[in-house]
Amino acid sequence: MPFGRLLPKCGRSNCSCNALITWSNRADPEENGVVCLDHGLIDSPTVNRDLVPHWNVTYRYSFISPEHEAAIRAFLA
C-alpha cells in the first residue's frame, strides 16, 4: 500500500510492523510514540475494520495522517 512516505516501525517491543497510529500521554504530551494497527486499535475484528482508535483515559491515539487513514479505509472497502 503506497503512502507517499516511509512510515516508522511500531514502538511496541518485538513488533516490526509499520506504525500508522500516534499516541501521547494526556498528562504529559512529551511522552509519546507510534504503534501499528494491532497495538493501536481495540482487539476486535469488527471494530478493527471500522478503524476505531483505542480510547484510553491516560493516552490519546490518532492516525499519523488523514492520508494514511483514507488509504487504509479504501483498502478495506
- What's residue 27's pLDDT? 92
Q: What is the pLDDT of residues 22-73, one digit of tens each?
A: 889 999 989 999 988 888 876 555 656 677 777 778 888 888 888 888 888 7
Which residue ranges make up each domain of the chain?
Answer: 21-76
- What's residue 31's pLDDT? 92
Contact partners, residue 37, CB within 8 Å, separation at least 6: 17, 20, 21, 48, 51, 72
More confident residue, 7 or 5: 7
Rg of the chain over CA atoms, in angstroms?
Answer: 12
Whole-prediction pTM: 0.72
Q: Is the pLDDT of residue 1 over 50?
A: no
